[in-house]
Amino acid sequence: MLAVLGNTSTHSCAVIVSKVIFLDFDGPMIPVKSYMLPEQTKSATVFDPCATAMLLRIIRDSEAKIVISSTHGKRGLEHIQKVFTQNGIDLSHLHEDWVTPKKMSSYRIHEICWWLDKHPEVTHYVAVDDEQLDITWVPNSVQCDAYEGFSFRNYLECLRFLDAVDEEKQEEHNKTIQYLKRREIWRTMRCEEEGNWKLHQFATEMFPLPTDQPVKPRITLP
């Protein structure tokens, strides 16, 4: 992507937004586990509260705006505004051009690219989805688990794509992402379970770190 310009600038009274989050609802924000929430609606519009908290933190740190890249977008702006309000997300976080364009049976990767083509002012973006988006079309994509939803690793990946990590912290940030990728593979088997050592070795080789010492996430509270 291009070098960072400030996320917003004013020219002729118009605000230019240079960072956006293409957000899917079902999967990242409304994972299967969120169906267990006592306040969940019949149409499943209640977000996982942890996912919401991390999304708001990303917006705070990057000043990015949200663009809807979800089947929920077909239900109109009023529906999106209602869902945002229901989940404690300020409507000001929604981009003026709030949804990706749809053409017949178009794929999500094309819709994101069409939206970006309309907005050359955008210098940094990230697409958050539970689908595996083709990185030749959308290289700045973060894939979530449809059952578990938007994770702490996904949160860190979004900050990296949106250039919202201090330069002196970038190395540690990237190491933490690699470590969390390892852990997602490690936890699929229990200690001493047959074949566990092979899985552990595979994860370590797939996501190498500069050192064999485990890297534990450092969480900076506001």
51-110 pLDDT tens trace: 999 999 999 999 999 999 999 999 999 999 999 999 999 999 999 999 999 988 889 999
- Supply φ then ψ for residue 7, to 5 degrees: -60, -40
Largest CA distance in the chain: 66
CATH assignment of 17-164, given 1.10.357.10, 3.30.300.130, 1.10.3470.10, 3.40.50.1000?
Answer: 3.40.50.1000
Cα–Cα distance, 130 to 21 (Å, whole number): 14
- What residues does CATH 3.40.50.1000 cover in the chain? 17-164
Please give the DSSP secondary-structure letter assigned to residue 5: P
Overall pTM > 0.85? yes
Residue range 133-170, pLDDT digits in tens: 999 999 999 999 999 999 999 999 999 999 999 999 99
pLDDT confidence of 10, banded at 50, 70, 90?
very low
- Quick one: which of 129, 39, 151 has its CA closest to 86? 39
Q: Residue 146 in contact with residue 183, Cβ under 8 Å?
A: no
Percent over 70 (pLDDT), the chain:
88
Q: Which residues contact 47 (CB under 8 A, 6 or more apart)?
A: 25, 29, 30, 34, 83, 87
3-state helix, strand, coil in the chain (%, to 5): 40, 15, 45
